[in-house]
Amino acid sequence: DAGITQSPRHKVTETGTPVTLRCHQTENHRYMYWYRQDPGHGLRLIHYSYGVKDTDKGEVSDGYSVSRSKTEDFLLTLESATSSQTSVYFCAISLTNGPYEQYFGPGTRLTVT
């Protein structure tokens, strides 16, 4: 199994509070991704990173920011959580940008009340 961990695994927070989710990898993969998974939707890309300090937006990036100061860590921040951000969040990693498998973390279930 690819060495990917996410923390926390579960979180309940109140509307308006900031939340940071962490993805940590031990594989030294260059590409990292944050997705959200909601019923009726496929996994949707929030932000991705193609190297340290190199990040870009995905299709559902509004209300989210990311940072990557080290190869192994990719942080997703909800500056002011809203109920629409209640979701399961998955981190993934990929070795290259070519046709290559993505390996997924275990997911974080976030509930915003």
Partner 1 sequence: KNEVEQSPQNLTAQEGEFITINCSYSVGISALHWLQQHPGGGIVSLFMLSSGKKKHGRLIATINIQEKHSSLHITASHPRDSAVYICAVGKGGATNKLIFGTGTLLAVQP
Residues that bind partner 1 (CB under 8 A): 31, 33, 40-45, 48, 50, 56, 58, 90, 94, 96-107
Shortest approach of partner 1 to residue 82 CB, angstroms? 23
- CB nearer to partner 1: give 44 or 65: 44
Shortest approach of partner 1 to residue 79 CB, angstroms? 24
- CB nearer to partner 1: give 54 or 79: 54
3-state secondary structure string across the chain? CCCEEEECCEEEECCCCCEEEEEEECCCCCEEEEEEECCCCCCEEEEEEEECCEEEECCCCCCEEEEEEECCEEEEEECCCCHHHCEEEEEEEECCCCCCCCEECCCEEEEEC
Shortest approach of partner 1 to residue 52 CB, angstroms? 15
Shortest approach of partner 1 to residue 112 CB, angstroms? 20
- CB nearer to partner 1: give 18 or 106: 106
d(CA 110, CA 113): 10
- CB nearer to partner 1: give 45 or 75: 45
